Structure formats: C-alpha cells, structure tokens
Amino acid sequence: MADGAPWSGVGIALPCVDALGRGTPVVEVARAAQDVGLDHVWVPDHLVFHRPIIEATTALACVAGATDRIRLGTAILNPTLRPVVWLAKQLTTLATLAPDRLLLGVGLGGEYEPEFRAAGIDRKGRGRRLDEALELLPKLAAGEPVVHRGAFEVDCDALAPTLDAFPPVLVGGRGDAAIRRAARFADAWFPMWLDPDEIGSSHERLGELAAEHGRSEPGVALVAFVNVCEDRATGEAHAAELIRRQYGMPYERVSRWTLVGSAAEVTERLAAYVAAGVQGFCLSPAHPQPIEQIHALAEIRAQLEAEVVAR
C-alpha cells in the first residue's frame, strides 16, 4: 500500500461540517491525526450547504500552521465556484507555506444548487469551468502570463510567488465524465460511493483513456465514510444520523458503501479496495466525536499495511 504516491496510505476527513451541532474541531483532529501517524488530512468544500461548513482553503491554512508533517488535501474542492486567478493565488500560498504537503482534490459538486446560485454561477456550465480551471491553474501557479476567454475570463500578467511543481491533482466523481477528466488531467482518480469491482473495472478504463492523451495511468484514491465500533447497531445509528443531517438524504442510499464495524472488519473491506487498485483513503468519520476515531484509524492503517506487505 505504501507505494510512494503522495495520496497513498490512510487519512482522515476533518470535521469542517457542523453536521450534528457539535462545532468544528478541525485543528484538534488534525494534530491528533499527525500524532498517531496518519498520512493525510482532508477538508471538504461548499459555499452554501445543508449544515454550517467552514471554508476549505482557510481551514487548510490553519491546519498547515498547526502541523508540520502530515499532508493536506481537499476532498473535494470545487474550482467552478471561484475566480480561477484568486484560487491559483490561494493554492500557491498554501503550497509555499507548507511545501510538498498539498494534495488538490477537485470535482464538480453540483448536488446542491443553492451554492451555485449564491456564487452567481450557472450550474449547467460547471463541467466546462472545471476543465478550464484544470488547464489554467498550473500555468498561473507557475507564474506564466495568461490571457484566456472562455468560461473564465482571465488577463493575468504573472502571479508570484510561483511553484516549481504543481501539487498532485486528484479528480473526484463516479461517472464516465469524471473518469475521462481524471485521465486527461489528474495524477489520481478520487471517487466515493463505489464498490471494489466498480473501482477495478473503471481503473482499467482510466488507463486506456490516459494513454489516448499520451499520459501515464493515474492512480486511485477513495473517499469513504467510516464508523469503527464494537456495537454495529450503535455505529449504524451514528452513521445514519450524520449522513442524514450532512447531506439531507436517507442513509439507505449510501449505507452499502459506509464502513461500519470493528477495526478488523473495516480493514477487511478496505483491503478489497486495495486489491481493486486503490492506493489511498480519505476516511470520513460518521461518528458524533470524530477525534474518538483517530486511534482506530491508526490501527486500521497498521493492519492494512501489514496485510499488503504480507501478500
């Protein structure tokens, strides 16, 4: 499992969404994750959402200052909601202040129309905006002059400071358009709510599509909700409540992909994803106290690594 890819290993999604009205102890959880040896921490991104949510790049800046080793990722940032030059400035600032730690997970969002309305963006054009953002962001971060007329209107002489290398890009989404986008732009595909066999078959297609663009095959990382528990009924109840409040949808729609059970049971399910080609995990605690899941996730990381080494 530890194959050297920046997104490999096990990380935790930070509690940026106050789904249960218990606050957002982002820095506390990030420090704990670093202390137990998790590989990365991740922040979600919405402008307007079902529940209160803090802004992604600001949250990562706070986490960067409170930690010194753990990688910092977005799962998933929505570039379509932002002016692309400002986003490039934010990302280069983060990468400058936390060298070699940033992981840029991006996607379309799209499930919550009010945030597109709040941003003044036509939701129907979000695919084109994301593709253009993925083309423009590396150029802007490298300090290239950019004049562009399209979904984004850009006339930028040069940004500074610049980056020698753009952070690894992980493209989220489950459908064919997301796989095509990952093949064209990404270092890794970053889906959620898929079975291992679906990951495996899509992984093969990802490699074929990347070859058409003259690119090497992107890696694969996975976002998954998890509740490590000894009492399954309690774990399922916690997961159901969090999913319902955070996403405004019934738990039954996604329960099959939610990892609930003992550390050994969760490890077994994650191992099936590893066998399907997944290199890294962003695990989002479906638990009322996410910091209480930290040591369990560290145990799972150790078990998973031992299993992979033993094969």
pLDDT in tens, the chain (311 residues): 557 899 999 999 999 999 999 999 999 999 999 999 999 999 999 999 999 999 999 999 999 999 999 999 999 999 999 999 999 999 999 999 999 999 999 999 877 899 999 999 999 999 999 999 999 999 999 999 999 999 999 999 999 999 999 999 999 999 999 999 999 999 999 999 999 999 999 988 999 999 999 999 999 999 999 999 999 999 999 999 999 999 999 999 999 999 999 999 999 999 999 999 999 999 999 999 999 999 999 999 999 998 775 66
Q: Is residue 83 part of a domain?
A: yes
Distance CA 182, CA 167 (A): 15
Residue-number span of the structural domain to which 290 is assigned: 9-310
Q: Is residue 64 part of a domain?
A: yes
With CA atoms as reference, report the closest residue to 57 among 26, 29, 36, 20.
Answer: 26
Q: Is residue 1 part of a domain?
A: no
Sign of the dihedral through C-alpha 14, 42, 7, 287? positive
Q: What tokens appear for 59 in the block? A: 């949250």
Q: Is residue 186 part of a domain?
A: yes
Helix 126-141 vs helix 176-185: crossing angle, to nearest 10: 20
Q: Is residue 3 part of a domain?
A: no
Q: Is residue 90 part of a domain?
A: yes
Q: Is residue 236 part of a domain?
A: yes
User: For 93-149, what is the HEC assignment?
Assistant: HHHHHCCCCEEEEECCCCCCHHHHHHHCCCHHHHHHHHHHHHHHHHHHHCCCCEEEE
Burial class (CB in 10 A: 0-12, 13-18, 19+), 38: buried
Task: Indicate which CATH number applies to the domain containing 137.
Answer: 3.20.20.30
Q: Is residue 82 part of a domain?
A: yes
Are 125 and 98 in contact, with CB atoms under 8 Å apart?
no
pTM over 0.75? The answer is yes
DSSP state, 137?
H
**Total structural domains within the chain:** 1
